[in-house]
């Protein structure tokens, strides 16, 4: 099946305890502290959105939940914009405290997708997972060739300078919007920027096939890198955005039981010697 986004959601799959593709958001706390399960890397310098960047990350909410989330953002004084229509869907754009651009997309049928139910957000309004990301590039066609030729996405719609690509029929993490901004400034990584966008590969063999296809497009993926919980390959697509292909294997239960996933800070073996310094540098999560 075509490849869905692997990373850019929450850690857990609703009422289950395993992390799954389309529901894993990785944040790395400055200054460059390696953290497990925490896709976006936070930098110390100022972010400048521009070409060659993943400019926005979107999450799915039920159609009836847009008002709830608008009120919640207002009550918490979170910077946001007025709801707008994109490709026939209502979207609520906002920014987090670090300036990261995010959006909530009211998707038809999203209430059928299980949501997180162990927090202060009512289960019926909970985030369901990723909708997708928006890439900002100077020329859209070379990026499109990678999405369609290597990852199985298809162009589905066009609005202004944005082309929407979809992978499969699933609602979770199957949308990539490519915004062409010819002549615009190149982006600059900084606090709140997205470091890379990850795509899933079920197995090492599937990943190798994707790498072989990328090379036929003249791209130069890295060798496979062991990330303990998955194995990764990285490359820059023609527009400049850093992409990762990450395997499902071996998974997050490689070093702890499924029932206790997320209960403790887990580090790969090569970082255990630095555990005390790493844990001490972690910011509190609210």
Per-residue confidence (pLDDT) for residue 173, from 0 to 100: 86
Task: Describe the strand order of the beta sheet including 225-226 as a list of residue ranges.
Answer: 5-7, 197-201, 242-250, 230-236, 225-226
* For range 136-157, the mean pLDDT: 96
Q: CA dihedral in degrees (187, 188, 191, 192; nearest 10)?
A: 20
Residues of 72-110 as b/e, b for ≥16 C-beta within 10 angstroms?
A: bbeeeeeebeeeeebeebebbbbbeeeebbbbbbbbeeb
pLDDT tier, 260 (very low <50, low <70, confident <90, very high otherwise): confident
Kindly report which listed range (4-18, 94-108, 167-181) carries the lowest average pLDDT score: 4-18
Total H helices, total E strands in the chain: 4, 15
pLDDT tier, 217 (very low <50, low <70, confident <90, very high otherwise): very high
d(CA 240, CA 105): 26
Per-residue confidence (pLDDT) for residue 73, from 0 to 100: 97
Which tens digit of pLDDT belongs to each residue from 22-34? 556 666 555 433 3
What mean pLDDT, rounded, does the chain reach? 85
* For range 234-258, the mean pLDDT: 93
pLDDT tier, 64 (very low <50, low <70, confident <90, very high otherwise): very high
Per-residue confidence (pLDDT) for residue 28, from 0 to 100: 55
Per-residue confidence (pLDDT) for residue 21, from 0 to 100: 52
pLDDT tier, 286 (very low <50, low <70, confident <90, very high otherwise): low
Task: Pick 70 or 48 by higher pLDDT.
Answer: 70
261 has a pLDDT exceeding 60: yes
Which tens digit of pLDDT belongs to each residue from 231-240? 999 999 999 9
CB 40 within 8 Å of CB 27? yes
Provide the token pair at 233. 């390959």
Per-residue confidence (pLDDT) for residue 119, from 0 to 100: 82
User: Whole-model pTM?
Assistant: 0.84
Percent residues over pLDDT 90 in the chain: 61
Per-residue confidence (pLDDT) for residue 61, from 0 to 100: 96
β-strands 230-236, 225-226 pairing: antiparallel
Kindly report which listed range (13-17, 143-147, 183-187, 254-258) carries the lowest average pLDDT score: 13-17
17 has a pLDDT exceeding 80: no
20 has a pLDDT exceeding 70: no
Percent residues over pLDDT 70 in the chain: 83
What is each CA distance from 157 to 135, 139, 179, 279, in whole angstroms? 15, 17, 12, 45
Domains present along the chain, CATH in parentheses: 5-281 (3.10.180.10)
Which tens digit of pLDDT belongs to each residue from 107-127? 999 999 988 777 889 999 999
Per-residue confidence (pLDDT) for residue 37, from 0 to 100: 31
């Amino acid at each position: 099946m075509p490849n869905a986004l692997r990373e850019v959601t929450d850690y857990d799959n609703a009422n289950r305890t395993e992390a799954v593709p389309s529901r894993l958001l990785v944040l790395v706390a400055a200054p460059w502290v390696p953290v497990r399960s925490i896709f976006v890397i936070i930098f110390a310098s100022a972010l400048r959105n521009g070409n060659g960047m993943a400019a926005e990350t979107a999450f799915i909410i039920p159609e009836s939940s847009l008002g709830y989330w608008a009120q919640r953002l207002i009550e918490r004084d979170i910077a946001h914009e007025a709801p707008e229509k994109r490709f026939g869907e209502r979207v609520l754009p906002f920014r987090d405290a670090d300036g990261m651009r995010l959006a909530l997309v009211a998707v038809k049928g999203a209430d059928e997708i299980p949501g997180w139910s162990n927090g202060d957000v009512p289960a019926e309004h909970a985030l369901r997972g990723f909708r997708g990301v928006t890439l900002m590039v100077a020329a859209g066609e070379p990026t499109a060739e990678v999405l369609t030729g290597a990852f199985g996405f298809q162009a589905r719609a066009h609005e202004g300078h944005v082309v929407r690509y979809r992978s499969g029929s699933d609602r979770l993490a199957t949308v990539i919007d490519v915004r062409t901004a010819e002549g615009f400034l190149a982006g600059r990584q900084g606090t709140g920027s997205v470091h890379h966008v990850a795509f899933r590969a079920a197995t090492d063999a599937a990943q190798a096939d994707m790498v072989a296809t990328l090379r036929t497009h003249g791209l130069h993926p890295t060798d496979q890198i062991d990330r303990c919980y998955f194995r990764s390959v990285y490359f820059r697509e023609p527009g400049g955005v850093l992409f990762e292909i990450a395997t499902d294997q071996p998974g997050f239960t490689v070093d702890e039981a499924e029932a206790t996933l997320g209960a403790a800070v887990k580090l790969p073996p090569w970082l255990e010697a630095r555990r005390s310094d790493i844990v001490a540098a972690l910011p509190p999560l609210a």
